[in-house]
Amino acid sequence: MTTPMNVGRQADTERRRTRVKTAITNAQRDATPLTASAIARAAGVDRTFLYRNRDLLDALHTATHEPTPGPADRPAVTRASLEAHLANANARSARLASLVRQIEERLSKALGQEAWRPPGSEQPSISKNSTTASHASNSAPSSSPGRWRNGRPNLTPPGPPTGA
């Protein structure tokens, strides 16, 4: 039995559904957020209205994944294009991290060889009678006072003398 109250409630539901559909269309056109909260606010309905009307929520989710219209001189941004951009950025990050590791290894080897090599010598100086290398002591080699500091190579670039 159809009562005037049921007819009025169905008409109100249809008006709300129309407002939600219009809000989704406007949000797509204006490039505003396509979230349940934003659409419900724009349509003047409660969020639960969207969740009770599953077809409206599906329309919202579908609209979220559609490309946004942009100016003619700019390509449309889609979820797929953003995911591709993210994948490319992650791959570039991995390549750069690998390059940094390679450079660090080369620098470590170069600094290690420099620490073993006394000035003016081409080969590392390891005593045949001793099991320790000549650089193992904490004192600086006497032949190169400016190249060592606290038992380690001085890696600071030479600058103008300071008047101390």
Domain boundaries, the chain: 14-72, 78-119
Most confident of 48-57, 59-68, 72-81, 101-110: 48-57
pTM of this prediction?
Answer: 0.43
| Residue 103, pLDDT above cutoff 50 | yes
Res. 85: pLDDT tops 60: yes
Q: What is the pLDDT of residue 107?
A: 86
Q: Give me the helix-helix angle, 36-43 and 4-30, nearest 10°.
A: 120
Round to whole Å and give the CA distance between 156 and 20.
Answer: 67
Q: How confident is the model at residue 2 (pLDDT cuts 50, 70, 90)?
A: confident
Return the percentage of the chain with pLDDT > 90, whole number.
Answer: 39
